[in-house]
């Protein structure tokens, strides 16, 4: 089946849909907010776990020298 035929059939099927009466309960909104917060917290956790690698990557990217010490002043 050609791409044109597939596109035409998709438009015909989607264009023929009758009006739908839908209901979103109050829990749906809080669920989407929970997903957003969980994704943000997960991203922050990963950045925290790999912070040293992220810092080194950006220092190399912008041309600054990378220090090999972990904050120890002992030599």
pTM of this structure: 0.45
Stretch (H or E) spanning 47: helix 26-49
- In tens, the pLDDT along 28-65 reads 888 999 999 999 999 999 988 888 888 888 888 888 66
In the structure, what pLDDT confidence band is assigned to residue 75 with cuts at 50, 70 and 90? Answer: very low
pLDDT at 68: 54
Which of the two residues, 4 and 71, has the higher pLDDT score? 4
* CA–CA distance, 9 with 59 (Å, rounded to integer): 52
């Amino acid at each position: 089946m050609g791409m044109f035929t597939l596109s035409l059939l998709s438009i015909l099927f989607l264009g023929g849909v009758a009006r739908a009466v839908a209901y979103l309960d109050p829990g749906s909104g809080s669920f989407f907010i929970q997903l957003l917060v969980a994704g943000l917290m997960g991203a922050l956790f990963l950045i925290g776990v790999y912070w040293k690698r992220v810092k080194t990557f950006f220092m190399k990217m912008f041309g600054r020298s990378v220090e090999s010490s972990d904050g120890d002043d002992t030599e």
